[in-house]
Structure 1
C-alpha cells in the first residue's frame, strides 16, 4: 500500500472522511452496476476499495491545500518595518525573517500532509527559502527531495532543477552546476534555451571556454524561436566567437 493510502490514527478519529468516501464509492458502483455484476464479487470489492481510496486521497489534497494557505501568505508577504497602506500583509522586518517564516510554514505542511501535492509545493518553497538564506546544503536537500517525489511532468519541476544548478554554483561546484543545467534542458524542454544559456555561462566560468562557445554558437539554430538569442550572441561575442 502506498503512502497516500495509509489510514492513520488521526483519520480514524475523523469519520466524515470515510462517510464521504463511502458515499462517493456507492455512487460510483451504482453507475456501473451492470459491469460490476458481470465482473464478480472479488473484483467488485477491489474496485469499490479503489474508488474509496481515490475519494479519500482527493479529500487529503483538499485539506492539505487549505493548510498551505499560511505558507502562501508568508511567501507573498512584504518586507517592511511598518504596515503598508492598502497592503494586507503579513509584514516582516527583514528578508531573513520572511524566509524563516516560509520555512516554518513549509515544515508544518510537509509534516502534516506528506505525500500530497501541496506538500510537494511546500518542499520546493522550503528549498527556495533556504537558498535565499545561503543555506546551500539544506536548499539542495529540499530540491532533491522534490525531484525524487514529483511526477516527471510536474509543472514546477523546472524550478527545482534550476535550484540545484544555482546551489551547485554557489558551492563552487561548477561541473555539478553545468550538469544540473543540462538536466534542466532535458527534463524541462520549455526551459531548454535558458538552461543552455546558463550552462554556457558556468562552463566559461570553469575555464571551459571552447565548450561554452560551441554551445552558444549553435544556440540560434537549436532554439529558433527563443527570445534569448540576442543575449546568447552577445555572450558568444564576449568569448571571442562569431555573432
Structure 2
C-alpha cells in the first residue's frame, strides 16, 4: 500500500516540471515578454525618430513661413513719409502723414506678427525694429521690454546683439538711468559690433560719465578709443569730444599711438 502510494506520488512528481524546467520556462516566458517589450521599444524609438523628423520639418516650415511673414510686415518701413521721403510713383499704398504715424504702424504690425509667430527666430528678430520704433515714440519702457526679449532669445553671436544693447542703453539714458545705460554700453563694447559700431560702446559710456559729472573719468575712457579702434567713427567722435572737454578745462590724457601692425613693423 505504502509502495503504491509512493509510486503514485513519484508519477505525479514526474509529470510536474522540475526546478530546472520551471526556471527554463520562466526564463522563456521572460524572454518572450522581453522581446515584446523590445519590439515595442524599438517601435517607439522608430516612431520617436519619425516624430522628431516631422517636428523638425514642421519647425523648419514654420520658420520659413515666419521669415516670409516678417519680410511682409517690415514693408511698412519702406512706405515714405510725406515731406520727408521721396515719393515712389509705383507705390500701391499712400505715404504716411508723419514719422510718428509710421512708427505707430510699425509697432502695430510687428506686435501682431510676434503674437502670431511666437517662438520662432523671426519673432525674436522682429522685437528689435519694434523696440526702435517704440523708442522713437518715447515709449521707453515698452522699448526696453522688447529689447529684453531679443537679448534673451537671440544667440550670443547674433550680429544684431550690439545694436540691441545700444538701443537698450539709449532707452535707459532717456529715462535718466545713466548707471544702467553704462552697463548696457559696456556689454555692447564686449559684443561683436562689426566695423560700423566698433568702439561705440566705450564712446557711449564716456557720454554717460559726462552726464554724471565724471568728466575726468570720461576723458580717460575717451583717450583709449583712438588707440584701441584707430580710424573708426568712434575714434573720430572721441577725439572731438576730448577737444570739448579740454576746452572746459578737463585734463585729457594724450592718446597712445595705435599698436603697430605686422606690416608696419616690417614683418611679412
Per the normalisation by structure 1, the TM-score is 0.76
Q: Which residue of 1 aligns with 2:82?
A: 80
Provide, for residues 54-79 of structure 1, a one-character-per-residue CA deviation record: whole Å limited to 9, x for no partner.
Answer: 11111001111222234211122211
Q: 1:160 and 2:160 equivalent?
A: no
Matches for 1:57-206 after TM superposition, within 5 Å: 57-80=59-82, 84-88=87-91, 89=93, 91-190=95-194, 191-206=197-212
Measure, in 2, the Cα distance between the counterparts of 1:202 and 1:140.
18
Measure, in 1, the Cα distance between the counterparts of 2:94 and 2:50.
45
Aligned length: 204
Relative to structure 1, is the Cα distance of residues 210 and 43 closer, same or farther in structure 2, using a 3 angstrom cutoff?
farther
Rg comparison, structure with higher value: 2
Relative to structure 1, is the Cα distance of residues 47 and 109 closer, same or farther in structure 2, using a 3 angstrom cutoff?
same
Provide, for residues 37-64 of structure 1, a one-character-per-residue CA deviation record: whole Å limited to 9, x for no partner.
Answer: xxx6554443332222211111001111
Q: Which residue of 2 aligns with 1:46?
A: 48
SS in structure 2 at match of 1:239: helix
CA positional deviation for 1:105: 0.7
CA positional deviation for 1:192: 4.2
**RMSD (Å), alpha carbons:** 2.3
Provide, for residues 175-209 of structure 1, a one-character-per-residue CA deviation record: whole Å limited to 9, x for no partner.
Answer: 11111100111123533401111111111121111
Measure, in 1, the Cα distance between the counterparts of 2:86 and 2:208.
41
Provide, for residues 93-126 of structure 1, a one-character-per-residue CA deviation record: whole Å limited to 9, x for no partner.
Answer: 1111101111111011111100112211221121
> For structure 2, which runs of at least 5 residues remain unmatched after alignment?
1-41, 247-251, 255-268
Measure, in 1, the Cα distance between the counterparts of 2:94 and 2:160.
25
| Contact in 1 for aligned 2:168/2:181 (Cα 8 Å) | yes
| Contact in 1 for aligned 2:140/2:174 (Cα 8 Å) | yes
CA positional deviation for 1:164: 0.6
Measure, in 2, the Cα distance between the counterparts of 1:46 and 1:223.
52
SS in structure 1 at match of 2:199: helix
Q: Which residue of 2 aligns with 1:222?
A: 228
Measure, in 1, the Cα distance between the counterparts of 2:218 and 2:44.
61
SS in structure 2 at match of 1:218: helix
Q: Which residue of 2 aligns with 1:21?
A: none
Provide, for residues 11-35 of structure 1, a one-character-per-residue CA deviation record: whole Å limited to 9, x for no partner.
Answer: xxxxxxxxxxxxxxxxxxxxxxxxx
